[in-house]
A and B are shown apart, each in its own frame.
Chain A
Amino acid sequence: MTEEKITPQVFQRLVDLAALELDPKEAEYLRQELNNQLVSIEILESIPIDAEVEAAAHGVPYPPERSPAFRDDEALTDPHRADILAQAPELEDGYIVVPDIAQEELE
């Protein structure tokens, strides 16, 4: 077994970026699974890939004849305003309510 790359410190950094609150048991399971997956991913480094092979962000090509034209750039009012707002967990006078946005004093 190779040395684990996602140490508890690296993991904590990922958790902060992901905006997740985890209990310790769950955190340890997730960290172990990430390390297992990462070892599997590292097989990629053994693939012989010629230098000229470029990255493919998607499989199927989109030549102009297969691609829809862009829509006109015009503003349209969405007909579902009330339905959309009704989904917000907390609403006041048509505004979505959230807790305070934390501010830090910059030095």
Chain B
Amino acid sequence: MTYADTSAHEIADLVRSGKTSALEILESHLERVKAVDGRPGVLEPGPITAEDKEKVHAFITLTAETARARAKEIDQLVADGEDPGPLAGVPFTAKDIYTVKGVPSTAASKILSNYRAPYTATAVQRVIDAGGVLLGKVSLDEFTYGSSSESAAFKPAPRNPWDTSKVTGGSSGGSAAAVAVGAGALSLGTDTGGSIRHPASFCGTVGLKPTYGRVSRYGLIAFGSSLDCPGPLARNVTDAALLLQTMAGPDRHDNTAATVPVPNYLAELEKGVKGMRIGLSPDFFRVTYFDAETGELQERAIPEEIEAAIHSVAGYLAQQGADIVTDVPMPHTKYGIPTYFVISRVEASSNLLRFDGVKYGYRTQQSLADLREMYRHTRGEGFGEQPKLRILMGIYVSAAQFQKQYYQLALRARALMRQDFETIFDPAGDYKLDALLTPTVPSTAFPIGGVYGDTVLMQYSDQFTVTTNHAGIPGLSVPAGFDENNLPIGAQLLGPDFSEGRLLRIACAYERVTADEPWRAKRPPVVEKFG
């Protein structure tokens, strides 16, 4: 065990009290990165070697020197008797969809491969101002478009620390993998259809998608502007609470950042679950998927191990005094993905129009005499397949002759998904739930290359996370054991608007009561072998 395995709140205590220097902590993390991460993703990687296949490749850009300078500043503040802040000396990473001034901000896309933002995203700046030390920018699906992180234009793409032949999940795959191996105690991810919770589940970390508007989106390279949520990934619930505390709150740069007071999340953790009503829904224990042969929706049970893990979580919460409410209907869950196929594509195609080779980013090297030709070649060469698919679909379903049939219909279906949640959380309703407990993903991590290429099947991996984004409510994924292949299983807690404190409180109660279980002591094999 080294400082790379130490939790964020413990690191901050060590640094603030002067017991350990921020620089010593940073060096421990840089050693871990060197040992387990392998080479960072690049645009022209050459062949993927046997050694590449044993490493994690979470990083696109490692900022070791600026991190050292920052750590020395923190140590100087402590030496001068000043408090560097609640995240003093905590090494963290940011998904490469956040802009950071002076550092490449690529979105894992060729079209932004040379982009250096002139400003820093609000959420990242707040972590730095709280004493955090940015270790680097981590990988993701190109522009966040995917659920495996395999579509990153920078290769090698991230690999799962628990089994490097498996995907990390996505799109915040670099964030989840980095946190899991101790390459930063914390990471900032984003979640548009499940992109924080999905990789958190696959990599055995905590991941929280806050309520839409809880955290400023200023400085995010936009995907779906009505769905995107920045949020924390961490190895334990306390650290996730600490990071959310720092990121959350209104921001003059984002008018959708709500002016709702930020509670003391750390204080919430201590309150336990006695008397809470926590629901289980059969609609989150089966996958409804699209059958390409028949064009119909088919149903399938989720793997027994995952179902058993979620019931085990419910059992522990009941033991701690929670009331478990079964058979909670969530009838529109099965429409989450088709709805997302429309709404997210319309928003993405609009957001991607700005990349044109004129103001910043990549421009085609071909000498072209016509501006429109330059646009076509720049975008054709600069975007990978996933952004292209989203642009084309977004244009199709929002075309004047189809928009009532697709876009307006999807927005109305979205209203129904919101109603499902409002009904079960209504304090005067039939269910009066404090939270809904579900699996995060209907599977554990799948093999690299196993699903990639089939964009419909890939999207269905987000079935249990995506309705949260449609509704705007918060969702938290926590580790809930392992399957027979030693791959992590994630449990998800969903609650009403701005109930992050409550979700963290439930998750913390579960984490504490299972603290001594043997599975909690497991470490990723890649860390055991190389770390």
Interface residues of A, Cβ cutoff 8 Å to B? 1-2, 6, 10-11, 14-15, 17-22, 26, 29-30, 33-34, 36-45, 47, 49, 53-60, 62, 65-68, 70-71, 80, 83-84, 87-90, 96, 98-102
Contacts and interface: CB of A to CB of B under 8 A. Distances in A.
B411 interface: yes
Contact of A47 (B358, B361, B413): B413
A22 B481 CA distance: 45
B471 A20 contact: no
Contact of A22 (B341, B359, B388): B388
A49 B371 contact: no
Interface stretch (B45-53, B250-258, B505-513): B250-258
Contacts of A84: 118, 360
Contacts of A88: 358-360
A34 B495 CA distance: 34
A102 B389 contact: no
Given A14-B395, A59-B469, A96-B359, 19 more contacts: A6-B396, A19-B356, A20-B376, A21-B379, A22-B388, A30-B389, A37-B389, A39-B290, A56-B415, A58-B226, A59-B471, A60-B211, A62-B213, A68-B255, A68-B257, A70-B255, A87-B116, A89-B358, A99-B373
Given A21-B380, A39-B295, A56 B414 contact: yes
B226 A65 contact: no
Given A37-B455, A40-B338, A21 B358 contact: no
A55 to B, nearest CB: 3
23 contacts: A2-B295, A20-B392, A21-B376, A26-B385, A29-B385, A34-B393, A36-B456, A37-B455, A40-B341, A41-B406, A56-B411, A59-B471, A59-B473, A60-B211, A62-B256, A65-B259, A66-B259, A68-B252, A84-B118, A87-B116, A89-B357, A89-B363, A98-B374
A49 B338 contact: no
Contact size range, B: 35 or more
Given A19-B375, A59-B471, A66-B213, A53 B370 contact: no
A23 B513 CA distance: 56
A55 B416 CA distance: 9
Nearest to B372: A102
A72 to B, nearest CB: 11
A54 B419 CA distance: 12
A59 B259 contact: no
A18 B392 contact: yes
A49 to B, nearest CB: 5
B410 interface: yes
Interface of B: 101, 115-116, 118-119, 211-213, 226, 250, 252, 255-260, 290, 292-293, 295, 297, 332, 335, 337-339, 341-342, 349, 356-363, 368-377, 379-381, 383, 385, 388-389, 391-393, 395-397, 405-406, 408-416, 418, 455-456, 459, 469-473, 497
Contact of A71 (B212, B252, B370, B375): B252
A79 to B, nearest CB: 9
The 9 A-B residue pairs with the shortest CB-CB distance, nearest first, are A59-B472, A21-B380, A55-B411, A60-B472, A87-B360, A83-B118, A89-B363, A56-B415, A80-B118
A47 B295 CA distance: 15
Contacts of A83: 101, 116, 118
Contacts of A66: 213, 258-260
A87 B388 contact: no
A80 B219 CA distance: 15
A1 B406 CA distance: 20
B410 A44 contact: yes
A18 B379 contact: yes
Contacts of A6: 396
Contact of B371 (A54, A60, A67, A99): A99
Contacts of B397: 41
A67 B212 contact: no
A41 B338 contact: yes
A6 B396 CA distance: 9
A20 B395 contact: no
A33 B455 contact: yes
A44 B260 contact: no
A70 B405 CA distance: 35
Contacts of A87: 115-116, 118, 359-361
Contacts of B292: 1, 36, 39
A81 B26 CA distance: 34
A62 B256 CA distance: 8
Which among B119, B337, B393 has the highest number of chain A CB atoms within 10 Å? Answer: B393
Contact of A15 (B259, B373, B392): B392
A33 B260 CA distance: 42
Nearest to B392: A14
Given A1-B295, A59-B472, A44 B339 contact: yes
Contacts of A15: 392
B383 A20 contact: yes
Given A40-B337, A44-B339, A90-B363, A49 B118 contact: no
